[in-house]
Structure 1
Amino acid sequence: MFARRIAVVGAGYVGLTTAACLASLGHHVVCADIDAAKVDRLRAGEVGILEPGLHDLVAEGTAAGRLQFCVGAGAAVARPDLPPVEVLFLCVPTPMGAGGGADLAAVEAVAAEVRHLLPAGCVVVTKSTVPVGTAEATRKLLRRRDVAVVSNPEFLREGSAVHDFLNPDRIVVGSDQQDAAERVAALYARLGAPTVLTDAASAEMVKYAANAFLAIKLSYVNALAELCDVLGADVADVTEGMGHDRRIGSAFLSPGPGWGGSCLPKDTRALVQVAAAVGVDVPLVSAGIAANERQRDLMVAKIGEAVGTLDGARIGLLGLTFKAGTDDLRDSPALAVARLLSDAGAELTGYDPGCPAAVPGSTDDVHVVDDPMRAAKDADALVVLTEWPEFRQLDWTALGGVVGRRIVVDTRNLLDPDVVRRAGFSWIGVGRR
């Protein structure tokens, strides 16, 4: 494998993971970000992202001289001290914009900044999740016939991004220029993953199609859990029986308070918006979004039924991040439930291993504490909202000594009901007998 000179624009979850992992594969990578303070921290070896293995990869790449950091996309491209950049990865934010579509302002800004700096023969890669047609639009923005644009969507789960990058299910690369697509695919040759070479539009569609499918699957299992609650069936047994069917599989068959994070909500709405723009209806995706909103209301109703009344109730929340293994609060279903509980008059105290202190603008409805015992103090109920494995190991007997009422509403079906009940708690799951 040939080592390539690569520039990565964006040092967030996707960008930093991409830069560090490509450096670990032997490439020479310069990672750029517009946040000068973040760049200084990264140069000092400080990785402000809770992502297993990422800190070590950054340290190794920096020590080996294969990974550098700079401020601004232009500085990553125009480096007189380095050979010309061969591949430029765009890993910038594409947040939800007006109408639910992706906001491509950052992509457009970077394209404008580097347009006259890119060497002939360079390949620009859109790694961020972008609507179908973005590669073509970027090519027009660059106005460079000697620069190819390739779509190479990421499939990284927060909390396991490094593992997912280095052990991918597949590599998807799309371009109308076959040689450019093959050059990008070759960057991953050492990983030995199945590679899908296609056109740019199809590659862009893959990411939205995959995330929408997973979202629908989660909404479906949440609907099954509600039905199991009513009929007296056990959703754990139902999903086990389903999961052994190879056509279905066991992944994404765990009920919960709804799906969230930085990807699924944004990508499902973007797909609906893109489809509407060309006169196509995608009712399954729209229904999955609506069901997800309703799921949060169902969890609040379940908690209210457990405590009798939410107005004035003291509720201890276990989990605030959108999933275990990360410190990300973006579009967290735990915080969505917390907001509804607060609106109903509940007093909330929350604990999360990934969020030891309040985050203004995100956790305003919750008094955040750094110890589960403090979250449990005088609580009328404890509510599990994020699936942190640490919660299974809590001393439930000790917690029982400080709560106001021994009630646990486990929206993730995470805990062992027998362990909790032996400590004197009433355990209430989702779709469980």
Structure 2
Amino acid sequence: MYKISVVGTGYVGLVAGVCFAEVGHQVTCVDIDEQKVNILKQGISPIYEAGLEELMQKNYAAGRLNFTTDYIQAYKDADAIFIGVGTPEQPDGSANLSYIATVARQIAETIEKDCLVVVKSTVPVGTNDKVEQFINDFLINDVRVEVASNPEFLAQGTAVRDTLEAARIIIGTDSKWAEEMLMKIYEPFNLPIVSVSRRSAEMIKYAANDFLALKISYMNDIANLCELVGADIQDVARGMSFDERIGSKFLNAGIGYGGSCFPKDTKALDYLARQNGYELRTVKAAITVNDDQKTILYRKASNRLITFDGLKVAVLGLTFKPGTDDLREAPSLENIPLLLERGAQVYAYDPVGSDNFRQKFPENEYKIKYVKKPEEALSGANVCFIFTEWDEIKAVKPEVYQSMMRTPLVYDGRNIYEIQEMKDAGVEYYSIGRQAVENKNIKLSNTHNTTHCLYSA
């Protein structure tokens, strides 16, 4: 087994470090945030991820996993150093590589033995060549150091499973020494390994993620056309799914993709293409469709209602997907500001994402209230938006909307209800790519309780 250091304790770094320890390696996770490191040592995961905290506690107790801010001690005698720091998107769509550069220089000035540096962060094609040169430029001791590419393909909410039971592991190396060492590190996982060049590994990450983003945007585009011509996108998707060339995954229409990967990676690949004098028209189209799709429900509701001013608006779901507390590129971040600007009084429910959303939109600064149950948001509401398909939200019965809302008017961005059941319950219901359940007789003023307003005029 190897002595491994993992730089960064976000989704990529922390999950990788915990899983390396789980298969028997000696792992030290490094982060500059001392408070975060102290929390990790207490067995508390800073991110919401199924199964992560339990494995973290188990391997820390077994002595295979440690956390530190002391990168000098962590790097100097490591066999391999995995870099999992952020590469945030810049305004022009390019990736910010400053964190990678900082870590590379620290490694160069610290390592005292031959070492393999492995970049797990998503980086533009050619970055690892530059990282290796950068490290050698600043290298202090007479040691061998090479850089490999090992992109991650985990999905938030299932990251631990996606690492321990991955469909494949991609490794990109430019020498036999680096390839053999990285394959030995991953040998205990007993998973298929695809070994390619560094640049090919970097491109695989972008190509895979952008293909899935394309699939999502295509289905959303077809869904919008389905509404216009009277087809049902769920029927269409089911019919497509039997074709093995298409498959059954990523066929669900909705209000666009979000998270830390698809939005950033599509823009980064588009930028890379433009930098090389090429236009990736398919990827550009996916980006455009996704940007429009995120607010399609808001636009539908704006056409239905005269105003949002003074209305109680229930929002069910804040995170970009269920199973995570991550808000990055979530539709809620696009729609709630629009609702607040129009004078809406927002009552928001999310089983795990409310605390993160509260940091961006505190209750004492905005007309927003965070509630513990979906029913609290729905009580006396004039309109409801569903942005995330949490089980807790799917468990709400159609008749609850009819009985609790002042006006049972629902805009569902995840198609979690059957058209007929909402119709039978007397709910005016708009979803994605399906027939609308219209009710011209429902009015904004009725006999429901109107004591919901938090704010005086």
1:194 Cα offset (Å): 2.1
1:175 equivalenced with 2:168 (yes/no): no
Once residues 406 and 37 of structure 2 are traced to their aligned partners in structure 1, the CA distance between those partners, rounded to angstroms, is 47
Contact 1:376 1:403 in 2 (8 A): yes
1:207 Cα offset (Å): 0.7
2:126 counterpart residue number: 133
1:99 counterpart residue number: 92
**Which of residues 288, 296, 299 in structure 2 aligns to 1:298?**
296
**Which of residues 101, 110, 121 in structure 2 aligns to 1:108?**
101
**Which of residues 399, 404, 416 in structure 1 aligns to 2:406?**
404
2:335 counterpart residue number: 337
**Which of residues 274, 277, 282 in structure 2 aligns to 1:276?**
274
Once residues 309 and 126 of structure 1 are traced to their aligned partners in structure 2, the CA distance between those partners, rounded to angstroms, is 50
1:76 counterpart residue number: 74
1:317 counterpart residue number: 315
1:56 equivalenced with 2:54 (yes/no): yes
Once residues 367 and 185 of structure 1 are traced to their aligned partners in structure 2, the CA distance between those partners, rounded to angstroms, is 51
**Which of residues 217, 220, 242 in structure 1 aligns to 2:218?**
220
Question: Cα deviations across residues 352-411 of structure 1 (Å, max 9, x unaligned)?
Answer: 111234422257674322221221122111111011122121254444333110122111
Contact 1:316 1:350 in 2 (8 A): yes
SS at match of 1:401: helix
Contact 1:158 1:325 in 2 (8 A): yes
1:85 equivalenced with 2:78 (yes/no): yes
1:174 Cα offset (Å): 0.5
Once residues 162 and 218 of structure 1 are traced to their aligned partners in structure 2, the CA distance between those partners, rounded to angstroms, is 24
AA aligned opposite 1:124: V
SS at match of 2:113: coil
**Aligned-pair RMSD on alpha carbons?**
1.8
1:378 equivalenced with 2:380 (yes/no): yes
Contact 2:344 2:367 in 1 (8 A): no
Contact 2:295 2:334 in 1 (8 A): no
Gaps of at least 5 residues in structure 2 are 436-457
**Which of residues 155, 162, 165 in structure 2 aligns to 1:164?**
162
Are residues 419 and 157 of structure 1, via their aligned partners in 2, closer, same or farther at CA, if it must alter by over 3 Å? same
Question: Cα deviations across residues 36-75 of structure 1 (Å, max 9, x unaligned)?
Answer: 0010011011112110010111011111100011014323
1:33 equivalenced with 2:31 (yes/no): yes
358-367 or 212-221: bigger deviation: 358-367
SS at match of 1:172: strand
SS at match of 1:112: helix
1:250 equivalenced with 2:248 (yes/no): yes
Once residues 420 and 245 of structure 2 are traced to their aligned partners in structure 1, the CA distance between those partners, rounded to angstroms, is 33
1:81 counterpart residue number: none
2:187 counterpart residue number: 189
Question: Cα deviations across residues 169-228 of structure 1 (Å, max 9, x unaligned)?
Answer: 111100111220231122222333221111111101111111111111111100111011
2:231 counterpart residue number: 233
SS at match of 2:360: coil
1:258 Cα offset (Å): 1.3
1:422 Cα offset (Å): 4.4
Are residues 284 and 26 of structure 1, via their aligned partners in 2, closer, same or farther at CA, if it must alter by over 3 Å? same
Are residues 335 and 275 of structure 1, via their aligned partners in 2, closer, same or farther at CA, if it must alter by over 3 Å? same
Give % identity: 40
Are residues 239 and 72 of structure 1, via their aligned partners in 2, closer, same or farther at CA, if it must alter by over 3 Å? farther
2:431 counterpart residue number: 429
Gaps of at least 5 residues in structure 1 are 79-83
1:124 Cα offset (Å): 0.2
Contact 1:356 1:370 in 2 (8 A): no
Contact 1:77 1:85 in 2 (8 A): yes
Structure of greater Rg: 2
Matched residue count: 426
1:327 equivalenced with 2:325 (yes/no): yes
Query: 5 Å matches for 1:4-19?
Result: 4-19=2-17
TM-score, normalised with respect to structure 2: 0.89
SS at match of 1:15: helix
SS at match of 2:392: helix
2:347 counterpart residue number: 349
1:33 Cα offset (Å): 0.6
**Which of residues 115, 118, 122 in structure 1 aligns to 2:115?**
122
AA aligned opposite 1:359: R
Once residues 362 and 204 of structure 1 are traced to their aligned partners in structure 2, the CA distance between those partners, rounded to angstroms, is 36
1:243 Cα offset (Å): 1.2
